[in-house]
Amino acid sequence: MENGGRLIIVVPCFNEEEVLQDTNRQLCMIAEQLEKDGKIDSCRIMYVDDGSKDNTWKIIRELCSCGDTLCKNGMQRVCGIKLAHNVGHQRALWAGLNEACPKCDAVISIDADLQDDENCIADMVDKFHNGADIVYGVRKERSTDTVFKRVTAQAFYRFMQAMGGDIVYNHADYRLMSRRSLEALLEYPERNLFLRGMVRLVGFNTAEVYYDRKERTAGESKYPLSKMINFAIDGITSFSVKPLRIIVTLGFVFILISIIAIVYGLISYIDGNAVEGWTSLIVSIWFIGGCILVGLGIVGEYIGKIYTEVKHRPLFTKEETINI
């Protein structure tokens, strides 16, 4: 594929006033260099404000109105979308991808904190021109994470793979997608979004670029433990029915154990060695009862997802757009 084309960098934002100015400066420098090198005809930056409570949207407005940030074709480089309320990172990213699709030949998604190395954007564009429709940004290692986050993240990826989920190890949402692969992705009707899994279902030619993740320079992580747990549950229940099959398997195991216990009890009774006691009974009741509750909880997660899907509520509502 020849050089050129239109690129849009989609940046979901939530309470990012502390980093946004620096993020925009760095992304604009990269965009200008891509145009200067002839790799891209025009490169725009699209910020999606996910219902921020701070001055994020005010800063985006200022960035959009700056006359110094023009593409080579004369268009305003920076544009913005303000969502009516907070819908979460995945839906905010989906809103940006949906808006960018008809206006670009390729789109790159990256978080506003730029912990993912923005200098890999040029490498992604090169791989795109070499025929890749999807280019995944993959972390080389997790030395910048806390021990807890590193262990839990690795456990999540391994567990997803064990459950049959097809995701790229150590890849989050830093990726390039061609227009045709993005159009295919937007055909998916899901309301429960787990994009790093959905993108793998699209297919097409893929490639990877590897980078070292940087530490956040300002602000705080928008993914506390509770959100990470919910995100992991969404990923597992959106792309695998193995948890339900495990419940069925456990049911058969308990039936088998109960049959063995009955046979053992009858033999003991015939031999006159039966011992009356409550401990084993109570332990069995609590254990099986706990398993039943866990099983009901897993089934409930799937039913809850079905409930969310069938309502067909909109994923997001746009309150305002600038330079779109």
In this structure, is residue 48 part of a structural domain?
yes
> Are the beta carbons of 82 and 57 closer than 8 angstroms?
yes
Say yes or no: 152 and 264 in one domain.
Answer: no
pLDDT for 256-296, tens place per residue? 776 676 677 667 667 666 556 545 666 677 677 767 777 77
The stretch 136-151 carries a mean pLDDT of: 76
Q: Residue 214 carries which DSSP code? A: P
In this structure, is residue 37 part of a structural domain?
yes
Say yes or no: 37 and 148 in one domain.
Answer: yes
In this structure, is residue 232 part of a structural domain?
no
Provide the CATH number for the domain around residue 118.
3.90.550.10
Of the chain, the percentage scoring pLDDT greater than 70 comes to 77
**From the centroid of its chain, how far is CA 90?**
6
- Count of residues for the chain? 324
- d(CA 187, CA 190) in angstroms, rounded, equals 9
> Are the beta carbons of 123 and 115 closer than 8 angstroms?
no
Say yes or no: 248 and 182 in one domain.
Answer: no
Say yes or no: 148 and 272 in one domain.
Answer: no
Burial environment of residue 196 by CB neighbours within 10 A (0 to 12, 13 to 18, 19 or more): buried
Say yes or no: 298 and 215 in one domain.
Answer: no
pLDDT value at residue 190: 78
- d(CA 277, CA 72) in angstroms, rounded, equals 84
> Are the beta carbons of 134 and 97 closer than 8 angstroms?
no
Say yes or no: 156 and 260 in one domain.
Answer: no
In this structure, is residue 169 part of a structural domain?
yes
> Are the beta carbons of 213 and 115 closer than 8 angstroms?
yes
Q: Which helix (H) or strand (E) holds 146?
A: none
pLDDT for 100-138, tens place per residue? 999 989 999 999 888 888 888 999 999 999 989 999 998
Say yes or no: 135 and 281 in one domain.
Answer: no
Say yes or no: 216 and 249 in one domain.
Answer: no
Q: Which helix (H) or strand (E) holds 166?
A: none
Joined together, the tokens standing for residue 306 give 């079905």
Mean pLDDT (the chain, rounded): 80
Helix/strand/coil for 39: coil
pTM to 2 decimals? 0.75
What do you get for the CA distance between the two ends of the chain, in Å?
A: 27
Beta bridge partners of 107: 8, 177
b/e code 158-173 from CB counts within 10 Å (16+ = b)? eebeebebebbebbbb
pLDDT for 187-244, tens place per residue? 887 777 888 888 888 888 999 999 888 776 665 655 556 666 676 666 666 666 677 7
Say yes or no: 283 and 154 in one domain.
Answer: no
Say yes or no: 32 and 100 in one domain.
Answer: yes
Backbone angles phi, psi at 72, to 5 degrees: -60, -30
Number of domains within the chain: 2
pLDDT for 49-78, tens place per residue? 998 998 999 999 988 887 667 776 767 889
pLDDT value at residue 144: 65
Burial environment of residue 129 by CB neighbours within 10 A (0 to 12, 13 to 18, 19 or more): middle
In this structure, is residue 165 part of a structural domain?
yes
In this structure, is residue 1 part of a structural domain?
no
Helix/strand/coil for 42: strand
In this structure, is residue 29 part of a structural domain?
yes
Say yes or no: 289 and 210 in one domain.
Answer: no
Query: What residues make up the domain containing 201?
Result: 6-222+315-322
**From the centroid of its chain, how far is CA 213?**
16
Say yes or no: 249 and 213 in one domain.
Answer: no
In this structure, is residue 236 part of a structural domain?
no
The stretch 312-324 carries a mean pLDDT of: 83
Joined together, the tokens standing for residue 293 give 């509750």
pLDDT for 1-17, tens place per residue? 557 788 999 999 999 88
